[in-house]
Amino acid sequence: MSKNYYITTPIYYPSAKPHMGHAYSSIIADFFARIKKIQGFDVFFLTGTDEHGLKIQRAAEKNGLSPKDFCDKISITFKNLSKILNLSNNDFIRTTEKRHFKSVQYLWNILEKNNEIYLSKYSGWYSVSDEAFYNDDEIETIEGEKKSKLSGSKVEWVEEESYFFKLSKWQKPLLDFYEENPNFILPKSRKNEVVSFVKSGLKDLSVSRKSFSWGIKVPSNNEHVIYVWLDALTNYLSALNYPDTNNKLYNNFWPASLHLIGKDILRFHSIYWPAFLLAANIPLPKRIYGHGWILSGEEKMSKSKGNILDPIEIIEKYGLDPLRYYLIKEVSFGNDGNISQDKLESCINSDLANNFGNLCQRVISFNEKNLNLIIPKEIKFNDSDLKILNNFKNNYDELLKFIDDQDINSYINYIVDRLFASNKYFNDEEPWKKKNDMIRMNTIMYVSLELIRKICILLYPVIPESCMKVLKIFNIKESEINFESINDNNFLECGKKISKINILFKKIENHD
């Protein structure tokens, strides 16, 4: 089995500042990147910004800036967000970089050479906001304005000379591929939407524009700009130094293991992108996962609706790890989810302060008072000790399956269950009453410390900063975290000194 893992976020469109939806995609991708890394994989994690198209050109004009200056200004906020979210990404790509131009133009030339592109005239509905073309049956009139049924965005009638990609030719090959690779698109509900759309008939796709100039020029015809989605999707290749297919990055990491995207851009990733790749004889990514939206109330967040939740403001108030934990645990992965102050505070109190933080605090404080912060030497496991310790080993294969199936909710529910069980074990075993039986007290303490260590390794991809504070108590470095070590019941070295612990999560008091 290949021990390389390539994961990507969507590249974000910097027409406005980042919102919670951007943070969600990035945090989920970081979860998978970190978990694969501690499983021993060589991970390449990519994020970035998609900086071409009419929407950007108009936003720049509105702000009195050149498109490039506008992109420089907004893109840096997304790059900074990666640091604020504590992402472990290896690269941040911008579609205005030379390496990306080279890849896009090379791919265009291959498609042209393979007779997959032809020049004709486009007339139809186009959404500047979505940078997407829509069929007549995908348009509705609301209060005298034509809008996309899919996104609700305003559409404009466009007529101009355009290059077309022979998308219709790839209808059957795509359907065959979906059939042969049933987990290519997840969750299954999204796959069903895509298959239904493709079965309804694919039309050739307009892949160039003449009416504006902000983008990558068609190599053989400078009057045309390459369609922003053919341009943007190629970032997944350009970050690996494509077209240099002998390059180490390309060789090690293509095809991508997982493209993680929002459901609103599923069509581009699961129909157009595979078709472009098939037409250019490039291997297809292994999986595309279309997650739901983070809603503000019942609506998708958007600048035009003025309902954007600022992740930076929430992090400043509550901290990063609580936000990461909330988004990973409380949003049913694949479905829409929403965030509210009440739910976030409740989650911080119940799961992080009362459950995880409380376990760490009680166990290590007890050790400090009774064992001088030493991992006990004389221990003897009984059946109840082995039962709670071996639960990790007994469920190891299932945990790996949760990860490989992108079943985040089952994974984190297992951890929450282990936290409750660990707190119960410490309460039921009552080490404070075993001071006359030092071997038993030592064993309860050793088991409790081991449980904390195992849980921290499982939680590390979710709340890395907090887990590292705990693991450092055991003198475990970030580079030493090994997922498989949760199976080891004697990992902690007897007689070794550990450190004191500070409060991990402060309980939020009710201000009513």
CATH number of the domain that 447 lies in?
A: 1.10.730.10
Task: State the pLDDT at residue 511.
Answer: 52
Domain assignment present for residue 161? The answer is no
In the chain, the number of structural domains is 1
Parent domain of 433: 341-487
Integer Cα distance of 286 and 56 in angstroms: 31
Task: State the pLDDT at residue 303.
Answer: 52
Domain assignment present for residue 107? The answer is no
> Is the distance from CB of 58 to CB of 127 less than 8 angstroms?
no
Please state the pTM of the whole predicted model: 0.93
Task: State the pLDDT at residue 175.
Answer: 98
Domain assignment present for residue 387? The answer is yes
More confident residue, 282 or 129: 282
Task: State mean pLDDT over 256-271.
Answer: 96
Task: State mean pLDDT over 82-88.
Answer: 97
Domain assignment present for residue 2? The answer is no
Domain assignment present for residue 481? The answer is yes
Tell me the range of 125-139, 302-316, 495-509 where mean pLDDT is highest.
495-509
Residue 219 to residues 101, 161, 163: CA-CA distances in angstroms?
A: 10, 16, 12
Radius of gyration of the chain from Cα atoms?
26
Domain assignment present for residue 179? The answer is no
Mean pLDDT of the chain: 93
> Is the distance from CB of 326 to CB of 294 less than 8 angstroms?
no
Task: State mean pLDDT over 155-181.
Answer: 96
pLDDT of 510 > 80? The answer is no
Domain assignment present for residue 447? The answer is yes
- Of 90-94, 292-296, 416-420, 442-446, give the lowest mean pLDDT range: 292-296
> Is the distance from CB of 454 to CB of 486 less than 8 angstroms?
yes
pLDDT of 260 > 90? The answer is yes
Task: State mean pLDDT over 50-62.
Answer: 90
Domain assignment present for residue 428? The answer is yes
Burial 424-451 (b: 16+ CB within 10 A, else e): ebbeebebeebeeeeebbbbbbbbbbbb
Structure tokens belonging to residue 460: 């590390």
Task: State the pLDDT at residue 289.
Answer: 97
Tell me the backbone φ, ψ of residue 66, rounded to 5 degrees.
-70, 155
> Is the distance from CB of 33 to CB of 283 less than 8 angstroms?
no
